[in-house]
Amino acid sequence: MADGLFLILLTFIAASIGTMTGFGTSTIMVPTLSLFLPLPQTLLFVGIIHWFGDIWKIIFFKKGFNLKLILMFGIPGTIFSFLAAKLPLTLPQVLLSRSLGLFLAAYVAFLFLKPNWKLKASTPTALLGGTLSGFFSGIFGVGGAIRSSFLTAFNLEKSVFLFTSGVIGLFIDSSRLVQYSISGIRLGPLMTALVLCIPASFLGARVAKTIVTRIPQPSFRLVIALFLFLVGLRYLIV
């Protein structure tokens, strides 16, 4: 029961913070849950939560639709997500954990060193962003932060940004969930908790919608980035 409550609370917090900051629900949940669960099972559990989170973004922030941008991100992202999702079952768990820790630490260090870094809005930027976010979503479940970094280059209004991110994420998450299933990853006893965590993710996204314009995002992101950095260090040194 206590484990179930922990998962529900974690899902609610991750959905709220992940939606508001653009880091994504998985960026918070995967590092946390993988401290207690095998990485493949963590990726499937969080991947399903994140898939529903994409739906909530589309519902709550439907203020714009850029088909060209969605396709440029979504097509390569879907392909590379499917291919990379096979790796968690074929590579050693220690290697995956160390790689995840290095990725988190390097990403956060980059945010601190280059807080105002921006890419040029172009077709190559969109294709590269889709490829990288798809690959890292498939292997680590944390491609949302990369996707957000690339999407900011296109200077979208915040609601349009979140809606577009949701649609692209839906493509990528659907692809990797299919691969996880084909590869034989199963949730087992976590299924009951999953059923309860899905509405928790909805409530978290609903809270994010009500306060998304009221919180100074740069300082908020830095606090979450510090958390991710500490988790990344944990993977590297333990």
Report the share of the chain in percent with pLDDT over 90: 31
Model confidence, pTM: 0.83
Residue pLDDT tens, the chain, 238 long: 447 889 999 999 998 887 776 667 888 898 889 888 888 999 999 999 999 988 988 888 776 677 888 999 999 999 999 999 999 888 887 888 788 788 878 877 877 777 666 778 899 999 999 999 999 999 988 887 778 778 877 877 777 787 888 899 999 999 999 999 999 999 988 898 999 999 999 998 888 877 765 655 565 566 667 777 777 787 787 6
Every domain of the chain and the residues it spans: 2-237
CA-CA distance, 180 to 14, in Å (whole number)? 22
R_g (Cα) of the chain, nearest Å: 16
The model's pLDDT over 38-78, given as tens digits with 9 standing for 90+, comes to: 889 999 999 999 999 889 888 887 766 778 889 999 999 99
